[in-house]
Structure 1
């Protein structure tokens, strides 16, 4: 039985993306190379790990069991690497944080910039993930802290309400859609969209919500960052689904406009989770508290 860590990382990426091509993009492989590696992994194990269906790649019963073990194994490898590298470099604390794109771009990066500047002996590894994968990753000890849209459902994590945000349609100034105070999501699917990268949790969410409406978004361009996407919107390329907090500065400078969505999912409750069972290092506790106490973040939980 022979396979490599790359095969296990690919398996995990495909399971989370529910797509061979999406998983391949995550681990920087071509679709053909990913297909070859997956077939070899299944041959080595003697079982099929996925059911290939029209809606994507679904895990088999064997695949679900494999996923549990792979998450635990890769988490151990990550911790080993971080601890050994940290010792070699004289670092005192190493923390891994997973977050969806909205919280990452809206709140986390500015908070951590201030924290790291004040705490030179702490290193933080940031990774963007889709919200629906983050809690399981923390419970599986892949990382120390996770922040995602939605509520916590796992007894294996400690959860706290992190922030409240709103997904809105960002449009050029004077675009016809800005004449509305709020619109239903299906109504904007006739418009051209500017999106962040295909691997972004923001784009995956847009695509999934469009599918639920029986449509596919009309994408003119994928930008690599929200800032680039907002610049494209300002230039009149199309509209963008984005958190209001991400667009706040550009809106204040009257570069773009925002229209609310009359959808229950548009209001985003962001949850912070850390592991409940394993002893948490003082550095992790310190970062958790710093993130929760950031005045800008705290203000969203209590706007009054």
Structure 2
């Protein structure tokens, strides 16, 4: 008889979605040794492998994919149960899984999350960064409750709501020749050295894909983890940067950088919220969606 508890199911979901026992254990707030022991015990109880291990991480087997689907459904049900019963206990508790592209995560979510979490001390937000294309798949398969992504991406049958609007622009040192342009194309920018976010960031991958489409590569001299640091290096003439306009305008108020619009249509970004079914979310998650839309 199989005896998987909620900790087992939550751990397995985290491991499968992270593609790594180490990262899954961290997300589940378990020591690696304890997580590995639980996964092995689950496989021994079932009598079948749940994960295929390889050098880059793990992927679920056929049995693992079946367990993952049921684990997601059961854990979502527990979240809804907690939300429904919280009204009787005078409080609210729960976890909301959110996936976001770099743009929304760095520019808009910090203030939004701060305001929401201050009013809901019992709610936790599990926030991960992904490209917009990846976000659609994660939400559709139940790996996340809510996604925030570019409005240009096909979201299929997912429910979609508007979130924010912004665009990518060039930031350049005021001494750089391109700083005098009224506007410039992405292709022209690629002829110069750049400063960017690290290669794992969604925005760097997105810009790299755009560069590849026109047969060019990004000449990234330095990569770092924050837009603020990026703009500071641009000010010091290390290279050019491509950032959201809201970031660039804020940087220009305190740094010697120029903001130059990009002429490419894809640089204008409508950010949207996507989810499977708003009515199926627990009350606290529906309240969070309403907060984001407001």
Question: TM-score, normalized by length of structure 2?
Answer: 0.72
Which residue pairs with 1:166 in the alignment?
167
Cα contact 1:95–1:124 (8 A) shared by 2? yes
SS of residue in 2 equivalent to 1:182: coil
The aligned residue for residue 186 of structure 1 is: 187
- In the TM superposition, 1:53-64 aligns within 5 A as none
CA gap of 1:289–1:255, structure 2 versus 1, over 3 A, is: farther
Alpha-carbon distance between aligned partners in 2 of 1:128 and 1:152, rounded to the nearest angstrom: 16
> Does the CA-based 8 Å contact 1:167-1:242 persist in structure 2?
yes
Q: CA offset at residue 37 of structure 1?
A: 5.4
Give the distance between the partners of 2:176 and 2:242, measured in 1 at CA: 15
Gapped regions of structure 2 (runs ≥ 5)? 1-10, 21-52, 86-90
3-state DSSP of counterpart to 2:216: coil
Give the conservation status (yes or no) of the 8 Å contact 1:93–1:122: yes
Contact 1:166 1:244 in 2 (8 A): yes
What CA distance in whole angstroms lies between the structure 1 residues aligned with 2:229 and 2:70?
Answer: 37
Residue 216 of structure 1 corresponds to 217
Distance 1:99 1:180 in 2: 32
- Per the alignment, do residues 192 and 151 of structure 1 end up closer, same or farther by CA in structure 2, a change over 3 Å counting? closer
User: Helix, strand or coil: the match of 1:141?
Assistant: coil
Structure 1: distance between partners of 2:178 and 2:191: 11
Q: 1:77 to 1:172 in 2, by over 3 A?
A: farther
- Write out per-residue CA displacement over residues 252-277 of structure 1, whole angstroms, 9 at most, x where no aligned residue: 23432211111010101111112227
Structure 1 residue 11: deviation in Å? 5.6
SS of 1:183 mapped into structure 2:
coil
- Correspondence 1:238 to 2:249: no
Question: What is the RMSD computed on CA atoms of the aligned residues?
Answer: 3.4
- Secondary structure of 2:170's counterpart equals strand
Partner secondary structure for residue 123 of structure 1: strand
CA deviation string 1:264-299 (max 9, x = no partner): 101011111122276111111111111121xxxxxx
CA separation of 1:36/1:261 partners in 2, compared to 1, >3 Å: closer, same or farther? Answer: closer
SS of residue in 1 equivalent to 2:280: coil
Greater shift, 254-263 or 206-215, is seen at 254-263
Residues 131, 285 of structure 1: alpha-carbon distance in 2 compared, 3 angstrom cutoff: same
User: Are the aligned partners of 2:98 and 2:126 in contact in 1 as well (CA < 8 Å)?
Assistant: yes
> Contact 1:220–1:238 at 8 Å: present in 2 too?
yes
Structure 2 counterpart SS, 1:113 = helix
Aligned to 2:43: none
In 2: Cα distance, 1:228 partner to 1:248 partner: 15
Indicate the residue corresponding to 2:148 in structure 1.
Answer: 147
Question: How big is the shift at 1:247?
Answer: 2.2
TM-score normalised by length of structure 1: 0.70
**Which residue of structure 1 lines up, in the alignment, with residue 259 of structure 2?**
258
- State the match for 1:102 in structure 2: 103
How many residues were matched structurally? 245
How far apart in 2 are the matches of 1:7 and 1:111? 28
Q: In the alignment, which residue of structure 1 is the partner of 2:282?
A: 281
Larger radius of gyration between Structure 1 and Structure 2: 2
In the alignment, structure 1 segments of 5+ residues that lack a partner are 13-32, 46-65, 294-304
